[in-house]
Structure formats: C-alpha cells, structure tokens
Amino acid sequence: MAPKKQDRDYDVVLLGATGYTGLLTAEHIVEHLPTSLRWAIVGRSRTKLDALASRLKKLGPDRIQPAIEVVSVEDQDQLDAVVRKAKVCLSVVLYFSVGRHVVRACVENGTDYLDVTGNIAELYSWIEDYHEKAKANNVALIHACGAFSAPHDLLAWAAARELKKATSSNTSEAVLSVKKITMSPSGGTVESIMSKSTVDPKTQEDARGPWSLSPLKGVPATVPTNIFGVRHVPHLGLLANSCFGLAQDRAIVHRTWGLLGGEYGPNFKYTEYESVGSTLGGVAKILSGFLLGVALSFKPTLPLVRRFLPAQGDGPDTEKTKLQDVELEAVALADTQQPEGQGKNGFARLSYKGDTYHLTGALLAQGAASLLYKREFEGGLRAGCLTPAILGDDFLDRLRGVGVSFEASIV
Ligand SMILES: NC(=O)c1ccc[n+]([C@@H]2O[C@H](COP(=O)([O-])OP(=O)(O)OC[C@H]3O[C@@H](n4cnc5c(N)ncnc54)[C@H](OP(=O)(O)O)[C@@H]3O)[C@@H](O)[C@H]2O)c1
C-alpha cells in the first residue's frame, strides 16, 4: 500500500532526467524551485545520473541536492517503488515506448503526475484506461504540459474567460496565432515523430478528430481560410494555416473545454495558424510545411532527413537556443450575430525569452510546483487526466515569476 502524501520521501521525482528535456527541467528546478525541495533524478544509467548530479550541484550548491534513483521504467516493481516515494512525478521519458508504464504507476500509487506528450492516440488510450481510476484514487495527471500545447491551451482559456468576464458573451472560436517559434527539435522529439506508433489501429482511428479527447462533443471544427490557405483575423492580422501542431493543440484545448463543462460556450471551437506578413509569405510557409511533412512521412527520404537531425538524447545547442523567442497570441471571438471580430473580443498573449525546450522545462517544473504547493483546479475538478489550463491562475502566476509574460484583455 502506498504511503500517505505527507509521509513520502520526495516532493518530486523526475523520470527521464538524463534526456535533453530532462536536463533543462532539472536545471529549472535548481534555479527556481525552493531550495528545501526534496527531489530525485531518476534514470536507467548510473553514469549519466552521476554526471547530471555533478552538473546540478555546480549550478545550485546551496540547496538540497537531488537523490539519485537508478530505475528501469520497464521493471514494474522498481518503477512502483520510486513513484510511491514521491508526491509529484514528472515524466519526460520517450512516451511512445515507455510512457504508459509511468502513467499506470502514478495512478496506482497515488502520485500526481505531469508529462509533455504530444501524441493524441497515446493520450486517448491513457484517458480511456486511466481517467476514471485516477479520479477514484484522487490522482491528477496533467498531460501535454510542454511548449507545444500548454501555451495554446492557457491562451484559449484566458481569452475566453476574459470575454465572458467583461461581456458575459460566449466564445464561438478561439483563434491562435503563432507569431514566433523556432522549430529545432530534440532527438527525442525526432524519435517520437519518426517511430511507428505503438497504439493499435482501432484506437488510432478512434483518436482522430477534433473532439476525440473531449468528454463533451462540440461543433464541426473547420478551419476557415481563402483558397491560398490564408485568413485575416481582427487583432491578429494575416494568418496562414501551416501549423504542425494544430491537430494536437486542438484536441488538448477541446478537452479543457469539455472538462470545464463547455463553459466557453456551446459553439466553441479552436483554430490555429501562423502569423504571416503577406499572402505570398503565407503560401510560402504552407508550401515549406507541406514539403517537410512529405520528407518526414516518405520512407525513402527518412535516412537522409535523419542525418540532419539530432540523435536521441541530443538536441540543439542550449546556449544558442536560449536567445530565441516564443510568442503566441489568441483572440476569443464572441458568439454574436455581428460580423467576425466586430464588437468586443477576448485577447491573450504569451511571450518568453528562450526556446521551446527551455519553456518546456519551465512549464513542467512550475506545473509540479503548482501541484505540490497549491493543488487547486479550475471547474471544481479534483483528479483525472487533465490539461495544463486546468491548473489555472496559480500556474500562470508561477510562470510569470520565471520570465513568462502572459496578459489577457478585451479588444
Ligand atoms: N510537447 C512538447 O512540448 C514537448 C517538448 C519537449 C519534449 N517533448 C517530448 O518529450 C519526450 C522526451 O524528449 P527528449 O528530447 O528529452 O528525449 P531524450 O533526450 O531522448 O530523452 C529521453 C529520456 O527517456 C529515457 N528513456 C528512453 N527510453 C527509456 C526506457 N526504455 N526506459 C527508461 N528510460 C528511457 C532516456 O534515458 P537514457 O538517458 O538512459 O536513454 C532519457 O532520459 C519526447 O517524447 C518528446 O517528443 C515534448
């Protein structure tokens, strides 16, 4: 039987600590979470964990150092033993191969959990298998809490809430514009995109569609653009629909809407685009996105593409990427009879000095802090397979405290 939360050895355990995202998450913990935090770095290689521990000690010599736990995620007894020592578990392992084991262990051992999975079919099957059990065991699982999905979910939620607060109007559409994101993937991300799915074909089929993860079904979610794939939205400007993340982000945002009982409005839907300067620029973006998509899904070109991408465990130079910027905006269009965008609408904006992987480290570590020190959820929810926006204002305030600029207003 798992010990009570207050009797556990660790506040946080970080599984997959030896990976690219794991390192950035561990560094964020050292730099920003309380020095009294009792935590452990968990992995299957003692050598890698020792090297990481030395690095973390140099970064934060005056804090409680993380314990080292050598664990094979595939060994159920070892995994259960470490997970039941913790109040919160952060998982940044390769989800397509071993992610499910960690979810199971957390649900069965009463440990709250966060991940940054981006695969909808995997998530669909985890929700099918674990949402109700997690509710019964009072375990909160915050999924997709990385730079690809969490900002989108938070922005849609904040913009819709702002609109409702100021005007009592429902939102018909949350439109998200990706203004700045550099696509330089880590080896783990490349591996996840290129590996064959371990989810069975029937589940993959069931997981398709914009509302597959939502407990409530919504309206058909088409993406309105002109014949060039471009659309103008008031307050966001010219937008092109070449986003890679649309299907994934939309499924997460729609799950939040469903978990909150459809509180943004009955006709709500989420759309996502990239900000462009001109129609020609939009067409060029769509074309380059299409060609990259073909290269990544066409077997004969894969070995060539792989030569230019980082290997597992590796990734872009973090000294360089921390100089990049992430910037996203969203408008919540009011569900009224007025022409699109006229009248009052909700608006939210997130910006961050750094790349998507540093931001992911911040989102995971601050999400863990929110679960650990506050554990209050939107919509009166208490447990289950949840989404980043369900962590609400406490999460936003913590992110603001570590350099994430986030504002919401009426436009
Ligand atoms: N959605 C988002 O915003 C977002 C952002 C960042 C990352 N991600 C996702 O996060 C995941 C990790 O990415 P990454 O680039 O950090 O990967 P990575 O560098 O390859 O690290 C993967 C980690 O998982 C561990 N691992 C792999 N297979 C394992 C196994 N069979 N048993 C135990 N541990 C195992 C590795 O341990 P070893 O060191 O021992 O190999 C390593 O610690 C990927 O799925 C990626 O797509 C998503």
The DSSP bridge pattern shows strands 86-91 and 67-70 to be unpaired
> Greater confidence, 58 or 184?
58
With a 6 Å cutoff on the Cβ, whether 188 touches ligand 1 is yes
With a 6 Å cutoff on the Cβ, whether 99 touches ligand 1 is no
In this structure, whether the domain defined by 5-146+363-386 belongs to CATH 3.20.20.60 is answered with no
The average pLDDT across 42-54 equals 98
304 CB-contact burial (10 Å; exposed 0-12 / middle 13-18 / buried 19+): exposed
Distance 118 CA to ligand 1 centre (A): 12
- Asked whether the predicted pLDDT for residue 223 surpasses 90, the reply is no
pLDDT tens by residue, 272-304: 999 998 888 878 877 877 777 777 677 677 777
DSSP state of 395: H
pLDDT tens by residue, 141-184: 999 999 999 999 999 999 999 999 999 999 999 999 999 988 78
Domain boundaries, the chain: 5-146+363-386, 150-354+391-410
With a 6 Å cutoff on the Cβ, whether 21 touches ligand 1 is yes
With a 6 Å cutoff on the Cβ, whether 78 touches ligand 1 is no
Residue closest via CA to ligand 1's atom 26 equals 93
Residue with tokens 């004969």, as numbered in its chain: 300
Contacts of 125 (CB under 8 A, 6+ apart): 100, 199, 203, 207
Which of 13, 90, 91, 93 most suits a substitution to test ligand 1, by most atoms within 8 Å of the C-beta? 93
Distance 131 CA to ligand 1 centre (A): 23
Distance, CA of 310 to CA of 313 (rounded, Å): 8
CB contact at 8 A, 129 and 122:
no
Which pLDDT band, with edges at 50, 70 and 90, does 229 fall under? confident
> Greater confidence, 261 or 2?
261
* Partners of 67 in the β-ladder: 40
Distance, CA of 249 to CA of 247 (rounded, Å): 6
Handedness of CA 387, 139, 125, 296 (dihedral sign): positive
Using CA atoms in the order 85, 91, 95, 101, what is the torsion angle rounded to 10 degrees? Answer: 10
- Asked whether the predicted pLDDT for residue 221 surpasses 70, the reply is no
Ligand 1 atom closest to Cα of residue 94: 45
With a 6 Å cutoff on the Cβ, whether 182 touches ligand 1 is no
CB contact at 8 A, 95 and 192:
yes
Which pLDDT band, with edges at 50, 70 and 90, does 243 fall under? low
Distance, CA of 173 to CA of 257 (rounded, Å): 12
With a 6 Å cutoff on the Cβ, whether 244 touches ligand 1 is no
Ligand 1 atom closest to Cα of residue 145: 3
Ligand 1 atom closest to Cα of residue 186: 15
Distance 94 CA to ligand 1 centre (A): 4
Which of 41, 94, 184, 312 most suits a substitution to test ligand 1, by most atoms within 8 Å of the C-beta? 94
> Greater confidence, 374 or 241?
374
Mean pLDDT value across the chain: 92
Distance, CA of 106 to CA of 367 (rounded, Å): 16
CB contact at 8 A, 106 and 84:
no
Q: How many CB atoms lie within 10 A of CB 339?
A: 8
